[in-house]
């Protein structure tokens, strides 16, 4: 396994398994070098700018990093005949819910550049399947949470922006308080309800999705929502086998 990361929001200490290559998807020469050196069976693409507020303030960064740089990767994959691609998408492609729970058939009408950039890639993948035979699975996360139960990996955010760590910091006295925004939702106390998925379930979903492509169980440009995923996995990936 090879991990390509520019470490803009990551740390080399977290790359416990496989080879870490420090680099960026903007560097097409590096991508060509890696695909010539290694016989990749497939690619999982997690690299993206992901802050909704920042995407509104600086949309150019998001379209460049999330869309243009992804095109660099896809072009090299096509050139080297690598046909299996897992894309880290987002529930932000849906925009404001028209109904809940949100399923895969829900209209996709993103309300910010971050969600729009992810939806662009989803549509690009459909065209790449029809034109070049690239098989892909887009996994749309809602809200990821949790850490490795064995304590090897956890969240490393500075400054912290995620709700659950903020709540835990307030509960443990490391933060004075947290603010919950929104008082007009159709709930008992007027605050919103959010769907969370544990990081272990996300990892399982990505592995099963890649195995489904490699073993020929899934073909096309597919997409699955990842919320509370334990039951959904048995339905969506019943025939996935270990590589």
94 vs 97: CA distance, rounded Å:
7
Tell me the β-bridge partners of 196.
Answer: 143
Give the catalytic positions in this structure. Answer: 114
- 101 upstream amide cis, omega within 30 of 0: yes
Q: Quick one: residue 49, left, alpha or beta (phi over 0 = left, psi -120 to 50 = alpha)?
A: beta
CB proximity list for 23: less than 8 A, separation 6 or greater: 4, 5, 6, 30
What does the block give as tokens for 15? Answer: 């790359």
46 vs 229: CA distance, rounded Å:
19
Q: Are 8 and 65 in contact (CB under 8 A)?
A: no
SS3 137: strand
Q: How many CB atoms lie within 10 A of CB 189?
A: 7
């Amino acid at each position: 396994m090879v991990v390509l990361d520019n470490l803009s929001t990551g740390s080399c200490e977290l790359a416990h398994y496989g080879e870490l290559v420090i680099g960026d998807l903007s560097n097409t020469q590096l991508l060509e070098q890696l695909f010539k050196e290694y016989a990749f069976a497939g690619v999982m693409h997690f690299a993206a700018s992901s802050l909704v507020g920042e995407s509104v303030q600086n949309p150019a960064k998001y379209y460049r990093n999330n869309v243009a740089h992804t095109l660099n990767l896809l072009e090299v994959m096509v050139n080297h005949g690598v046909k299996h691609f897992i894309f880290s998408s987002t529930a932000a492609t849906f925009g404001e819910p028209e109904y809940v729970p949100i399923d895969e058939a829900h209209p996709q009408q993103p309300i910010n550049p971050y969600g729009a950039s992810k939806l662009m890639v989803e549509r690009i993948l459909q065209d790449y399947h029809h034109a070049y035979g690239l098989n892909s699975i887009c996994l749309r996360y809602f809200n990821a949470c949790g850490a490795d139960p064995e304590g090897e990996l956890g969240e490393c955010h500075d400054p912290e922006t995620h709700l659950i760590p903020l709540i835990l910091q307030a509960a443990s006295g490391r933060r004075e308080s947290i603010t919950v925004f929104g008082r007009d939702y159709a709930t008992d106390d007027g605050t919103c309800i959010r769907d969370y998925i544990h990081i272990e379930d996300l990892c399982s979903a990505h592995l099963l999705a890649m195995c489904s492509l490699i073993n020929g169980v899934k073909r096309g440009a597919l997409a699955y929502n990842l919320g509370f995923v334990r039951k959904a996995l048995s339905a969506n990936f019943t025939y996935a086998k270990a590589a």
